Structure 1
Amino acid sequence: MLLGFEHVGTTTIDLDRAIAFYCGLLGLTVALRKHYDRGEVAFLDTGSGMLEVACPIADVARSRDVPPHEAGLRHLTFAFDSLDPIVARLEAAGFPMIEGPRAAYYNEVLKRLAFTRDPDGILVELVERADGR
């Protein structure tokens, strides 16, 4: 029996910088931070699933977008009760919105959305859920 969504994994160039973005700006909390033989990893909790962020001992290139004709993860999405305060906080910290805030196309599940990038270039979607979700 499925219990729920557990986590998605990403890679970062700088774990402290990633934690500052996801925890300091978006509000996730550090559930675990641990060194291992190939680097360091942190599990950042949203309250309904986690983001695993690995920081290997290696040269890590900035993230690239997955082309439309290629399978892969397109973005990370985080839900907020209101977009305006989080958008203002991110923009004040130097993370401009790439798109939005605007009304969502899939208004059956989402009300409003905006897109920015994390410090490693990963596309991050910020949403307000549709009423009743």
Structure 2
Amino acid sequence: METHATADQLVLDTIHTGLTVSSLDDAIAFWCDVIGCRLDVRKKLASGPALDSIVGVPGTELEIAVVVAPGGHKIELLQYDKPDDRTIYRPRSCDVGSAHLTFSVTDIDKLLDRVESAGWKRLGAPQTYPNGMRVAYARGPEGHTIEMMQLPR
């Protein structure tokens, strides 16, 4: 990990982006087969007070998978098996707490077709900026949002 920290800088780098999912199998299939990530690791985390304290949820049971996106960014997929009172959060892009991942893509239309075939929904038509960049959002069935940017050639 390369650092460019000054004496007062505390954050050194981005490690990964975490997404909570209901099914690791389904999430791995989407992120690897549709987006083109590769599976790096999958494991069940040890439950107990330390994990409960880290995530701020008593009684946590958790399995994770880490996929690596083209370009090297890591996405941690988290499947909570406990507690039983979990819910699915489906924010709109304007809702505070909403987040998205942005990918540089070669063909936005083909990727939109692929993500729609996987059960995701485009949030509107791709838009073209004056510089030629095309941009679109898609949202998955569990509320995760991705942005696709096709840079001008």
TM range, smaller chain? 0.7 to 0.9
* Superposition deviation, residue 4 in structure 1: 5.3
Cα contact 1:21–1:119 (8 A) shared by 2: no
Cα contact 2:64–2:77 (8 A) shared by 1: yes
Counterpart secondary structure, 1:100: coil
Using CA pairs under 8 Å that are at least 6 residues apart, name the structure with larger relative contact order, 1 or 2: 1
Cα contact 1:31–1:45 (8 A) shared by 2: yes
Amino acid aligned to 1:114? A
Aligned length: 127
Aligned counterpart for 1:103 among listed residues 128, 133, 137: 128
1:86 & 1:55 partners in 2: Cα distance? 25
Gaps in structure 1 of 5+ consecutive residues? none
Identity of aligned residues (%): 30
Cα contact 1:80–1:126 (8 A) shared by 2: yes
Cα contact 1:21–1:118 (8 A) shared by 2: no
Tell me which structure has the larger Cα radius of gyration.
2
Are 2:16 and 1:7 equivalent residues in the alignment?
Answer: yes
TM-score (norm 1): 0.79
* Superposition deviation, residue 66 in structure 1: 6.6
Structure with higher strand content: 1
TM-score (norm 2): 0.70
Change (3 A) 1:15 1:33: same
State the match for 1:126 in structure 2.
148
Counterpart secondary structure, 2:72: coil
State the match for 2:134 in structure 1.
112
Amino acid aligned to 1:63? Y
State the match for 1:63 in structure 2.
89
Across the aligned residues of Structure 1 and Structure 2, the Cα RMSD in angstroms comes to 2.5
* Superposition deviation, residue 130 in structure 1: 4.6
